[in-house]
Amino acid sequence: AQSVTQLGSHVSVSEGALVLLRCNYSSSVPPYLFWYVQYPNQGLQLLLKYTSAATLVKGINGFEAEFKKSETSFHLTKPSAHMSDAAEYFCAVREAGTALIFGKGTTLSVSS
Amino acid sequence: GAGVSQSPSNKVTEKGKDVELRCDPISGHTALYWYRQSLGQGLEFLIYFQGNSAPDKSGLPSDRFSAERTGGSVSTLTIQRTQQEDSAVYLCASSFRLAGASYEQYFGPGTRLTVT
């Protein structure tokens, strides 16, 4: 069965620092992987997705993620955090023919 | 174009009452999903619809929960005899089709349900 584990329910960084949000998945077949962001009192917005093309995926707002099959990981990074990046981030996996399975989420705080 | 819309945005109900939550997907999207977001449980899949196929109800937590999709478009999630543990944000999403698993799901803003 598919599952997603997000390490760290809360990550705090300073403005301008590297952002690293961790995601590990479990899937019996090559997965489709997603990162979504949720700003306060808003719905989910897709940041980026991996669909078996390039292993390094670039998304919106300067975020990117690298698919590493050997580590079953899909960590989200951004070189320089901005105050507007403060939000909750969800990693999700989807095998063909199923709905999304989400991780528990990681809240990112950015301090000045 | 218009995104996924949900109504109401907030709903407060008394324990034991029935509630209906509505979702209007993006026009042309054949797949529709319901998720629940609650403290401590994260985002949980509830049910999805794909075209005229029988819905996948495997995520519904109890028989008090049901959903229908009329005319392949609007969907209603019904919770009967609400309990306090039903309090959560209910999110609806739609996508072009289910078979192409890479298709992006577009989420609505959600309905915040509070059961008192």
For A97-110, the pLDDT digits (tens) are 678 889 999 999 99
pLDDT score recorded for residue B30: 87
Is the Cβ of B93 closer than 8 Å to some Cβ of chain A?
yes
Residue of A nearest to B37 (CA): A104
Structure tokens, A1: 């069965």
Q: List phi, psi (to 5°) of B40.
A: 85, -20
Tell me the nearest-neighbour CA distance from A95 into chain B, angstroms. Answer: 7
pLDDT score recorded for residue B42: 83
Across A24-28, A92-96, B38-42, B88-92, the highest mean pLDDT is recorded for B88-92
Residue of A nearest to B39 (CA): A104
pLDDT score recorded for residue A53: 74
pLDDT band at A27 (very low <50, low <70, confident <90, very high): confident
From the number of C-beta atoms within 10 Å of its C-beta (0-12, 13-18, 19+), residue A29 rates as exposed
Long-range contacts of B59-66 (CB under 8 A, 24+ apart): B59/A99
SS3 content of chain A, % helix, strand, coil (to 5): 10, 50, 40
Inter-chain residue contact B101 with A98, CB threshold 8 Å: yes
**Four-residue CA torsion sign, B36, B27, A90, B55:** positive
**Residue B83 or A31, more confident:** B83
**Residue A7 or A52, more confident:** A7
Residue to mutate among A5, A100, A102, with most B CBs inside 10 A, is A100
Residue to mutate among B44, B50, B107, B111, with most A CBs inside 10 A, is B107
pLDDT score recorded for residue B99: 54
Averaged pLDDT of chain A = 91
DSSP state of B58: T
pLDDT score recorded for residue A51: 83
Q: b or e along B72-93 (b: 16 or more beta carbons within 10 Å of the residue's beta carbon)?
A: ebebebebeebeeebbbbbbbb
* Low-confidence residues in chain B, pLDDT < 50: none
Inter-chain residue contact B99 with A96, CB threshold 8 Å: yes
| Three-class SS state of A84 | helix
